[in-house]
Every structure is written in C-alpha cells, then in structure tokens.
A and B are shown apart, each in its own frame.
Chain A
Amino acid sequence: AQTVTQSQPEMSVQEAETVTLSCTYDTSESDYYLFWYKQPPSRQMILVIRQEAYKQQNATENRFSVNFQKAAKSFSLKISDSQLGDAAMYFCAYMEGIGGGADGLTFGKGTHLIIQP
C-alpha cells in the first residue's frame, strides 16, 4: 500500500520569509499524482498545488512551488513571501494514475505551519 510521510509536525516562519515543507512517499507505481492541500482553522480542504509524476518540470502556483524528486520519492512544498493567511495545516497527498484502480487520496499526517508576524 502507498504511504505518505510528513516528518515535520510543526513549522514556524517569519512573515515574508520562505519555508519548505517536506513530504516523502512510498509507491511501486510509475504513474501517479501528488498534491498539497491546505486546511486553515475553518477546516476547509483547499487544493494548493498538484504534480503529475510523468512531468519532470516542477509545478508552481504563484508563491507556491514544489521540488519533485521522483527517484528519491520526495515532494516538498516551498512557500515564498509567507503571509499570515498561509497559516494552516498542510497535507501532502498521493493518488494513483489513470491505470490504477482506486482514486482515493492517501494523505500524510500533516504539517502545522505557523506564521510569525
């Protein structure tokens, strides 16, 4: 079974600084997708960024970017120019590709990101 590991239960960063959240995963599949979701105190689950395993280019969405290392099975999230609104739990998630059976997401335990003003 696929597993997703987030080794940092909590991270803290100064406003306007850059922070990187770590995620590693374990799979025997070659076709899959990776996601970062944000869960603010309101408890909503908000998609931040996604990456297809077959793409070598790292995904970016405004201040959010990923460092995808397929061989190392690593998928870190970099948040640049951190803002107070970025404070939230961040979950890394894995999904099998088109040829897979289940489409359910496998989540890591999450990283609680604190933004210091």
Chain B
Amino acid sequence: DSGVTQTPKHLITATGQRVTLRCSPRSGDLSVYWYQQSLDQGLQFLIQYYNGEERAKGNILERFSAQQFPDLHSELNLSSLELGDSALYFCASSVGPGVSNQPQHFGDGTRLSIL
C-alpha cells in the first residue's frame, strides 16, 4: 500500500461529459502529481501541485484542469470528454520539490472508459 488513495477506481461515462477524479496524498506529502497512461501515449505527466499551488504543467489538455485543496487532496477535472481520453489516470505524491532523492509514490489509478 503506497498510502496514496485515488477514487473512484473505475469510471464509465459518455463523450461530451465531465468527470472529477480525486486523490489523497500520503501523510506528510505536499506535492501531488497527475499522470495519464494510455496505449497511444504511454505514461505522461500532466500537472503538479505543491502545497496548494500549481508548480509544473506537462502534456495537459486545455479541457483538463486540476487543483489542490488546503487539506492537500487534489482533484483532476476532465471535461468535454472524447474517446481518446479513455486511459488510466494516476496520482502520485512526494514530500515536495527541493528535497533530494525523493521518490514519487503512486496510487492505484482511476480507469476512465469513454463510451
């Protein structure tokens, strides 16, 4: 058990819809990262938050957004969903930037299926 909790585990929805994925980081971790794993693109970094503030953006689409709340949990919002958004979405957490040799610990992921 990595200590990172993601809900829901599975999500099935239709094109054009909007969904919210939730992540609770490990106790003590201030940084949250979101990744997308798809057959086409592999594992891609989407976005990072640190202590409530956006720190870095990766290959995140404009239809996607995220935020980190004061209790440090994070939500990834996906809107105007397309078939190509079907993927496994991972959340990871770490202590935070500036701490050397810190690994990222991953949650079990949310599998999103667009019908």
Contacts and interface: CB of A to CB of B under 8 A. Distances in A.
B58 interface: yes
B33 A103 contact: yes
Nearest to B34: A104
Interface stretch (B11-19, B21-29, B71-79, B99-107): B99-107
A56 interface: no
Interface of A: 33, 35, 37, 42-47, 50, 52, 91, 95, 97-98, 101-110
Contacts of A37: 106
Indicate the size class of the contact surface on chain B: 20 to 34
B108 interface: yes
Given A43-B111, A102-B48, A104-B48, 19 more contacts: A43-B108, A45-B92, A47-B103, A47-B104, A47-B105, A50-B103, A95-B104, A98-B100, A102-B57, A103-B33, A103-B48, A103-B55, A103-B56, A103-B94, A104-B35, A104-B56, A107-B43, A107-B44, A108-B42
Closest 6 CB pairs of A and B: A104-B45, A102-B56, A45-B106, A107-B43, A47-B103, A104-B58
Interface string B84-97: 00001010101001
Contact of B55 (A44, A47, A50, A102): A102
